[in-house]
Amino acid sequence: MNGKTVVEIAKEFPLDGEIFSCEPYGEGHTNITYLVTTDKKRYIMQKMNTSIFPDSDVLMRNICGLTQYLENRGIETLHVVFTKDGKPFYRGEEGCYRVYDFIENTVVYQVAESADVLKESGKAFGEFQSFLADYDSSELVEVVKHYHDTPKRFRDFLSSLNSDILGRSINCKKEIDFVLSHSDTFSKIVEGINDGSVPIRVAHNDTKLNNILMDKDTNKARAIIDLDTVMPGSLLFDFGDSIRFGASTAREDEQDLSKVHFDITLFQAYAEGFCNAVRGKITQNEIDLLPYSAYLMTIECGSRFLADYLSGDVDFLTQYTEHNLIRARTQFRLAGEMERQFDKMSAIIDKIL
Ligand code: ADP
Ligand code: GN1
Ligand code: MG
């Protein structure tokens, strides 16, 4: 492709020092992330995913507003580096690129190494909910409509299945059946939002454990990142998605399913952190739906992975052909185990709140 190299693009930003490397970094599924190292500082540069977030201007306006708001309140957050000509991102024939300061001395977990790590992340995501409670949501544009509209995600799944453009459905009959046989359980939260029984709040909407940076020395939460999807939503999406990813004994793309289990101790740890942070603000109806939200977010994400596998891997970044199918399998395994432990989850929540 013609156009600038990633190093040349990085030079569009007023970085401190001379660039000596620009390498792929991290395990996000959406944006293409690079670690840019100069002789003085480190930065994160991202090729923004303009197929999922087509309006980069609006997206970056959301992020700048939000990070400014958090920074003004002394909360550590992403710091956007503007281009040399004063723009929040670079746009060229190569695509759209943005730069953040690298938040140093932090770690990101792809799997919860201990219950304490998960409890700490629960506390941080719960507090994030509270910090944003007063954020003027008219400042936030809904950059992706129907993001956690699970019945719509199901319809999208059906259309990928019907098209089956690569003939991959033959490889995943069991997984397809799992989604189809659970489709009557998908609408509870969206219905609650529509009838007003589930309040709309500013939510992060993508609260997996690798979207939070923890301090290397203390293991305390430092910053919540990946703010692309911060939009009006439900607290239940945030709780549920964290459980989906964090209360698993294995990575999201573990190929050996015998290693993948929903761990009720990890659930309890996250629930304690999160619920204590939203105590007094969460409504009884939300409390009652917390266990279901974990199950729903897990099955929703599994259906999205499977739909993307059927559609030829267009939404999620993948490293190999079956990657999305492998991810879908872990999600369905977890969702199945959650279904069988609903009562235990409810008892834990009742005890905390
Ligand atoms: P995606 O939207 O593709 O998930 P993220 O914004 O989550 O991309 O970034 C991918 C990974 O890059 C994160 O999981 C984290 O490891 C790392 N990362 C992103 N931003 C920063 C930052 N400002 N400082 C340190 N690490 C970061
Ligand atoms: C994506 O971008 P990332 O990796 O943090 C996805 C989430 C999914 C998640 C599954 C914008 O998150 O919705 O839950 O993968 N983000 C987007 O791991 O679609
Ligand atoms: Mg991410």
Give yes or no for residue 233 CB within 6 A of ligand 2.
Answer: no
CB atoms within 10 A of CB 167: 8
> What would the two tokens of residue 167 be?
């003939």
pTM value is 0.98
* Residue 1's pLDDT band (cuts 50, 70, 90): low
Strand order in the sheet with 212-215: 106-107, 212-215, 221-224
Report residues near ion ligand 3: CB below 5 Å: 28, 211, 226
Taking only the tens place, the pLDDT of each residue in 35-61 is 999 999 999 999 999 999 999 999 999
Which residue among 300, 316, 329, 330 has the greatest number of ligand 2 atoms within 8 angstroms of its CB, and so is best to mutate?
A: 316
Query: Which residues' Cβ are closer than 6 Å to ligand 1?
Result: 25-31, 33, 44, 78, 100, 102-103, 108, 210-211, 213, 225-226, 228
Taking only the tens place, the pLDDT of each residue in 198-248 is 999 999 999 999 999 999 999 999 999 999 999 999 999 999 999 999 999
CA atoms within 13 A on the CB side of 31: 24
SS3 99: strand
Residue 301: predicted pLDDT: 98
Amino acid 71 reads E
Q: What is the mean pLDDT of residues 186-193?
A: 97
* Residue 9's pLDDT band (cuts 50, 70, 90): very high
Rg, the chain, Cα only: 20
Which residue among 70, 213, 222, 316 has the greatest number of ligand 1 atoms within 8 angstroms of its CB, and so is best to mutate?
A: 213
What residues form DSSP beta bridges with 214?
A: 107, 221
Model confidence at 133: pLDDT above 60: yes
Write the CA distances from 274 to 159, 237, 279, 315, 349, integer angstroms.
Answer: 36, 13, 9, 29, 11
